[in-house]
Chain A
Amino acid sequence: MAASRKREMRVTRGRLALYHTLLLGAVFVVWHLMTNPLLVSAEFAQNTAFFFGKPLVVLERVWDWFASGKIYEHLLVTLAETLLAFGFGTALGLGVGLWLALSPTASALADPYIKAMNAMPRVILAPIFAVWFGLGILSKVALGITLVFFIVFFNVYQGVREVSPVVLNNARMLGAGAGQLLRTVYVPSAMSWVFSSLHTSVGMAFVGAVVGEYLGAARGVGYLILQAEGAFDINTVFAGIVVLTAFALALDAAVSVLENRLLVWRPAQGETEPL
């Protein structure tokens, strides 16, 4: 651990950011050169441009979307779907997780069904949700919830099971009733597990939203990509992917901020400082 840490430290933060940018630039340069008849034959360039699009056109498309404001409506829809799926999925996972973890009988009864539902490739539910909830925002939220729920559920379940018996007994000796135990011991312990899976669950909510849109929608970034694909407009498809990726990174950063806010009580590596 210490050795790997030392090795990481050799590159400073600023330098690392520079390398990251250079690497990204290099990819774009190679992409550009491969799709332009400057170094390669015209025929090869045409082929690669057909399959991979042209980076400058892709960037131009992205620029157009934002300059004209056309993308905002779609981004907003995708964002709303992601957040709703994440919120409801987390709440549901938390509730069911706490309930099953604290009730051994219910847990034993539900166990095979939970396992079966988790093992099922849930993306396949998307068409069913489209039938049930229509092509609007609801069917995407439903798909996202099924993806988020299980991540949160398993983490909460684990979190409750792993509550230190000493801490639990201490709270009981201090006079905590059942409800107080739940609020001050079980939920915080479970939440620390939920937060550690926040990155995964937000990502899954996003996957649910985009896949849902891709399978049938009238708005959303997934819908834009589907439309462009139908017209063999590979540049727009790539532009959509670029926007989605940037968006996912932004979501991830937001989660990190939230995580640092809410988990101040948890020791970060090497942060412990005795007075």
Chain B
Amino acid sequence: MPNQAGVALALDSITVTFSARGAGGRTYTAVGDTTLKIATGEFVSIVGPTGCGKSTLLNVAAGLLEPSSGSVRVLGAPLAGLNRDAGYMFQADALLPWLSARANVELGLKYRGVAAAEVHERAQQWLGRIGLAAHGERYPHQLSGGMKKRVALAQMLILDPKILLMDEPFSALDIQTRQLMENELLELWSADRKSVVFITHDLEEAIALSDRVVVLSAGPATRPIGEFVIDLPRPRDVNEIRLTPRFVELHTQIWHAMKDEVLKGYAQTQRADAEHA
């Protein structure tokens, strides 16, 4: 692997504070003083209780959201505006519904002004790689949940970004489809080892996929409270690896660190629900 020691993405003392609308100067700090480094070619998962600000952190890394304080460096250079070296896979359906699967895959290349013939060829390759070569003319609403995710994956990867930002991309899928997608992701990733930041609330998914798992505290002002190196051998099969003793060991260890935060997060949502009711 080239430049294994290089840092692809560095978040330095990031804080994100939102001002609550119309609430007399009340503010909400989503992310509090987070420092995170992703090495070149590293697959890092970020886990944390629901609603703790994981997505906010990812949006900062993508340049979609400007941090209130702190700095982001991408491949050594400070980030200004959108992160052009990153591909982003969203939790919700983000395909353009008025474009066919093929046109969705082609979109990024077209934005970049790549010649039509090359766009077509590369899109055909990617459609083949995700097993949708015969369904390129279908519109997103005619595709199943798993197929939509695969198109979204191809849409992102066709641009060959150096960094992948993935925000709970498979959380809406049923468990079987999800494991299939996880394996597919690992296979695609192992081909050229991009740097990945993978957000999830599913600890098993995080361990099965990653080189490193970062645990975030419950919100508000979420920050990393633990880091675990996952030394499971690759290539992995996400179904099989869950049964190995080392996996169980890591799971117990990380879950132990997470438990208090999950309970805290749960108590907060309970309280919020009670206030709303």
Contact = CB atoms under 8 A, between A and B. Distances in A.
Interface stretch (B17-25, B84-92, B189-197, B266-274): B84-92
Interface in B132-157: 135, 139-144, 147, 155-156
B159 interface: yes
Contact of B135 (A164, A171, A172, A275): A275
Nearest to B87: A173
Contacts of A185: 96
A265 B139 contact: yes
B155 A174 contact: yes
What range describes how many residues of B lie at the interface? 20 to 34
A172 B135 CA distance: 25
A180 to B, nearest CB: 5
Contacts of B84: 175
B26 interface: no
A166 B167 CA distance: 12
Determine the interface band of chain A, counting residues with CB < 8 A from chain B.
20 to 34
Interface stretch (A65-73, A241-249, A266-274): A266-274
Nearest to A177: B111
B83 to A, nearest CB: 8
Given A167-B96, A169-B64, A265 B141 contact: yes
A266 B97 contact: yes
A17 to B, nearest CB: 30
A24 interface: no
B159 A174 contact: yes
A267 B155 CA distance: 21
Contacts, number: 77
A272 B111 contact: no
Interface string A217-245: 00000000000000000000000000000
B143 A275 contact: yes
Given A184-B96, A185-B96, A192-B98, A173 B107 contact: no
B93 interface: yes
A208 to B, nearest CB: 30
Q: Which 4 A-B pairs have the closest CB atoms?
A: A170-B94, A267-B141, A274-B144, A174-B108
Given A167-B96, A170-B96, A172-B82, 5 more contacts: A170-B155, A171-B96, A173-B88, A174-B159, A175-B159
22 contacts: A164-B92, A164-B94, A166-B92, A169-B88, A170-B88, A175-B108, A175-B112, A175-B159, A176-B111, A184-B99, A185-B96, A265-B98, A265-B99, A265-B100, A265-B139, A267-B141, A272-B141, A272-B142, A274-B143, A274-B144, A275-B144, A275-B147
Interface of B: 62, 64, 82-84, 86-88, 90, 92-100, 107-108, 111-112, 135, 139-144, 147, 155-156, 159
Interface of A: 164, 166-167, 169-177, 180, 184-185, 188-189, 192, 264-267, 271-275
